[in-house]
A and B are shown apart, each in its own frame.
Chain A
Amino acid sequence: MQPTVNITVRLFGLRGGDSRLTRLPTCAPAGFTVSALLAQLRSQAAPTDRLASADPDALLVLVNGRPVQYLQGWETRLGEQDEITFLLKTAGG
C-alpha cells in the first residue's frame, strides 16, 4: 500500500458563494505536490465553486503559512501535518 501523509487543506472564499474558511483534513500520497493537490481539489469541486474556475495565478497558496513562491513553487512536496491554504489574491491595502 502506498504510504500517505495527513494534511489539512484550508480554503478561503473558494467554495460556492461561501467566503468563510473551509477546513478539510485529508490524506495524500507521500510526495504529493501542491500542484497535484490543487488538481485533485479541482476535480472534486462543484462547478459553482470558485476553486473550479480560478486561474492558478490568481491563487495565493501557503504551506504552513509560507507562500509557495518561497518554497519550491507548485512542485513543493507535502509532508505530514502540513497545512495548505488556498486563497484568492487581493491587491491594495
Chain B
Amino acid sequence: MIRPIAPQRILNVDLTRGETWAEVVPQEEIVKHLGGRGIAAKLLYQRVPGGIDPLGPENALIIGTGALTGTNAPSSGRTSMLCKSPATGLYLKVSVGGHLGAELRFAGWDHVVITGRSSEPAYLWIRDDQVEIRPAGPLWGQGTRAVDARLKEELGDRAVQTAIIGPAGENRVLFSAILCSRYNGASRGGIGAVMGSKNLKAIAVRGEGGLRVAQGEPFYRLADHMRHELAKDPGTESLYDWGTAGSIPGLNEMGMLAARNFSQVTLEGAELLSGQHLQEHEYLIGRESCFSCSTACHRFVRSLDHRWGKVLDSGPELETVLALGSECGIVDTESALVANRLCNELGMDTISAGHVISWAMETFERGLIDAVVTDGLELRFGSPQVVHEALERIAYRRGDFANLLAQGTRRAAAAVGQDSHRWAIEAKGLEQSAVDTRMAKAYALAFAVNPRGPDHLMTETFAEFGLSKEAREVIRKITGDEKYADPHLTDKRAEIVRWHEDVYGASEALGFCVFTSTAAFAVNPENMAQLMSYALGTPFDEEQLMLGGRRMVTVERCFNVREGARRTDDRLPWRMMNERVPAGPNQGMITDQPMLDGLLDQYYGMHGWDSATAIPRAETLESLGLLELCGDAAA
C-alpha cells in the first residue's frame, strides 16, 4: 500500500495480553509535534504514569519513525526509541540510524508502542499489517549477531530489519542497548533492559508498501539540492573517509581528548584509535550508509593479528574508542575493535560500559578497592584483557563486583563510597560522553539540562567552536554576532543551547541525522520546514518547525518534573565542576557551580521555567499549546 506522509499510524502491542491494535495520529498532531521523537514524547507522557518502575510492565517502549523517514530526503533514516530510563528514572530518548525506521513505514506503521510483559521470551514479527508475537525461547541467551542471522533465516528474507537485545538486556544491565541489524545501536540509558524486562528478545520488520509525498516534484528537487550541499561540506567528506573516529587526532592536538577517566586531556599514541589509522592499516574493509544517506559514516572492520580475538564486525565510533580505549588508558587498535565487538554482541552501550570500567580502574589504582573486592580483576589503566573480561562479566552479571558495575557508575560509586563519586563521570545517573565540558560552555549547559543526562545526543552545540564559516554563520544567526563563536565564552550560551535544542529535536522528529544539521549545516530549519511543507501539502514554515522542537523539549522537561527532577538535578559530573583542565591549551579552565548557575538562570528564563525549581510555568505551557497535555507538571 502506498500511503501519504500523514495521517500516521500507531501499532500498539500489549505483551501481557498478547494483543495488538492500530490507532491513527491525525495530520494536525503531526504539524504540532512533527513526528518521530515529538509524537513519541507525547505518547510517553500520556501512557507512562509518574513514579512507575522502569523495569515493570507499566513502562512503555516506544518507537517513533521520522516524519520524512522512508522518503529520499537526505540522511533522513533516523528513528527514536523512548521509555522511562532504568538508569536515571527519568525520560529517555535514544536515536538509531540504519533501515529499521524506513522498513516500519513501508510496513504501514509510523510508531510502535509496546507495553506489558510477555510470560515467555518472545519476539515481535511485523510484516505489513500482519503482526505476530512469536515465541523466542531458543533465541534467549544468544548474542545479537547470531539472533539477527537466525531471524533472517527463519523468516526467509535477508531484507528483514531487526532490533535485538543481547544477554546484557536480558540480564537488565542498566546500560544495555538495542542493536539494529548490523551497524546501528540504540544504546543509552538502559533501553535494552526495558526491552528485556518485557521478555522481548527482538523485533523483526518487513514492509512492502511505500510513502507518497503530497508535492513530489518540488520535494525531490529540494532533497536533491540538500544532498549536493551536504556532499560539499568538508566535514561530511571526512566522515566518509574516516568515520566519527577521524576526530581523534584533532581532539588530541587541542587537548580535548578524554583519557584515563577524564584525568588527562591528551594521550600518547591516541592516533592508533583513529579512523585514519583504521583506514591506512586496512582494518577498514567497508563503509555503510543508513537509509537515504550518501555519507556512509559507518565502518565495517576486521582485526589483523587477532591478538585479543578475531573481529569481523561493524566498526567503532569515536565515543566507543574513547570510552573503551583512551578513557581506560588503552591505545591499542585491536583491543578497541574487540571491546566494540563484545559490546555489540552482548548488547551494551559502549559509552557507559567504558566509563564504569574506567571509574573502577581509578578506584582500584587509588586503593579503595582491591582484587578481592573485584573478584580477581586487576583493574589498572592500560589493561586490554581486563576490559574485555569485565565487559563479559558485566553482561552476565557474573560475580558481585560485575553485578555492581552492571548498575552503572552512580550506583557503584554510592556502594564503594569514600569520595569515589568525585571521579564518577556521571550526572542524573548517566555516564557523560567524552566532551570536555570544562572548556566548552554551551556544551556544559546543554549537558547539564539534558533530560536524559550529560551527553551530546539530545543537543549538540558544535557551532560554538566556530571552526567553519557555516558554523560561524549559525552563531551569527542565533546571537547577532560571529564573535560569540567561541566556546570559552559564557555570554549567549543559553540562546545557543535553546536554538540547538529546537533544531536537534526537529531534526530527529523528521528523521534527519543530526550530523547534517548540527555538525555539518546543509540541513537547516528553513529547508527542513520547506520539505515538510511539500511532504504534507500544506504551508509549514521555519517558525512552526522550531516551535515543534520547543514543544518536544518542554514535554520532556515535564516528564522529568513529574518524576521529581528539579534544578539541582541539572548538573555536571563532580570532576567537571571541581577539577580544572590539567594541561594543554585549555589548562585551568572549569565550569564550576557559580558559572553553571549563571548559565542555568539565563536558560530557564528564556524557556519560561521557574528559576528556583526549573519547572515550566503554566503560562509557558499554555503558549505552547501544552497545558492540556502537561498541565499536571506546571509550576
A contacts, CB < 8 Å to B:
10, 12-13, 17-21, 54-55, 57-58, 60, 62, 64-67, 69-70, 85, 87-93
B520 within 8 A of A: yes
Q: Contact at A19–B519, with CB atoms within 8 Å? A: no
Q: Which residues B435-475 have CB closer than 8 A to chain A? A: 435, 456, 462, 465-469, 472
Q: Contact at A20–B253, with CB atoms within 8 Å? A: no
Q: Contact at B584–A89, with CB atoms within 8 Å? A: no
List of A residues within 8 angstroms of B462 by Cβ: 91
List of B residues within 8 angstroms of A55 by Cβ: 234
**Whole-angstrom CA separation of A17 from B241 in the bound complex:** 11
User: How many residue pairs between the two chains, A and B, have CB atoms under 8 Å in the bound complex?
Assistant: 103
Residue from B253, B274, B319, B519 having most chain A Cβ neighbours under 10 A: B253
Q: Contact at B246–A90, with CB atoms within 8 Å? A: yes
Stretch with Cβ within 8 A of A (4 or more), from B101-109, B183-191, B276-284: B276-284
Q: How far is the CB of B294 from chain A (nearest CB, A)?
A: 14
If A18-B280, A66-B585 touch, whether A88 touches B247 (CB-CB below 8 Å) is no
B140 within 8 A of A: no
Q: Contact at B234–A88, with CB atoms within 8 Å? A: yes
Q: Contact at B238–A88, with CB atoms within 8 Å? A: yes
B contacts, CB < 8 Å to A:
233-239, 241-242, 244, 246-247, 249-250, 253-255, 271, 274-277, 279-280, 297, 317-319, 435, 456, 462, 465-469, 472, 485-486, 488, 515, 519-520, 584-585
Q: Contact at A13–B485, with CB atoms within 8 Å? A: no
Q: Contact at A93–B319, with CB atoms within 8 Å? A: yes
Residue from B249, B277, B485, B584 having most chain A Cβ neighbours under 10 A: B249
Q: How far is the CB of B62 from chain A (nearest CB, A)?
A: 26
Q: Contact at B237–A58, with CB atoms within 8 Å? A: yes
**Whole-angstrom CA separation of A70 from B319 in the bound complex:** 26
Q: Contact at B467–A67, with CB atoms within 8 Å? A: yes
Q: Contact at A12–B276, with CB atoms within 8 Å? A: yes
If A21-B271, A64-B585 touch, whether A92 touches B249 (CB-CB below 8 Å) is no
Q: Contact at B239–A90, with CB atoms within 8 Å? A: yes
List of A residues within 8 angstroms of B297 by Cβ: 92
Residue from A20, A55, A85, A88 having most chain B Cβ neighbours under 10 A: A88
CB nearest to A92 among chain B residues: B515
Q: Contact at A65–B253, with CB atoms within 8 Å? A: yes
If A12-B249, A85-B253, A87-B249 touch, whether A19 touches B234 (CB-CB below 8 Å) is no
CB nearest to B433 among chain A residues: A93
**Whole-angstrom CA separation of A74 from B280 in the bound complex:** 30
List of A residues within 8 angstroms of B466 by Cβ: 69
Q: Contact at B467–A13, with CB atoms within 8 Å? A: no
List of A residues within 8 angstroms of B468 by Cβ: 57, 89
> Which of A13, A88, A93 meets B456, CB within 8 Å?
A93
Q: How far is the CB of A18 from chain B (nearest CB, A)?
A: 7
Instruction: Known A-B contacts: A69-B466, A89-B250, A93-B247. Give 5 more (CB < 8 A).
Output: A19-B274, A65-B253, A69-B467, A69-B472, A87-B253
Q: Contact at A20–B469, with CB atoms within 8 Å? A: no
**Whole-angstrom CA separation of A54 from B241 in the bound complex:** 14
If A20-B276, A88-B234 touch, whether A93 touches B467 (CB-CB below 8 Å) is no
Q: Contact at A89–B254, with CB atoms within 8 Å? A: no
Q: How far is the CB of A53 from chain B (nearest CB, A)?
A: 12
**Whole-angstrom CA separation of A88 from B66 in the bound complex:** 32
**Whole-angstrom CA separation of A67 from B255 in the bound complex:** 11
Q: Contact at B236–A91, with CB atoms within 8 Å? A: yes
Q: How far is the CB of B226 from chain A (nearest CB, A)?
A: 15
List of A residues within 8 angstroms of B249 by Cβ: 12-13, 21, 87
> Which of B244, B280, B584 meets A93, CB within 8 Å?
B244
Q: How far is the CB of A3 from chain B (nearest CB, A)?
A: 27
Q: Contact at B235–A92, with CB atoms within 8 Å? A: yes
List of B residues within 8 angstroms of A90 by Cβ: 235, 238-239, 242, 244, 246-247, 250, 275
Q: Contact at B467–A89, with CB atoms within 8 Å? A: yes
Q: Contact at A92–B244, with CB atoms within 8 Å? A: yes
Q: Contact at B465–A67, with CB atoms within 8 Å? A: yes
Q: How far is the CB of B488 from chain A (nearest CB, A)?
A: 8
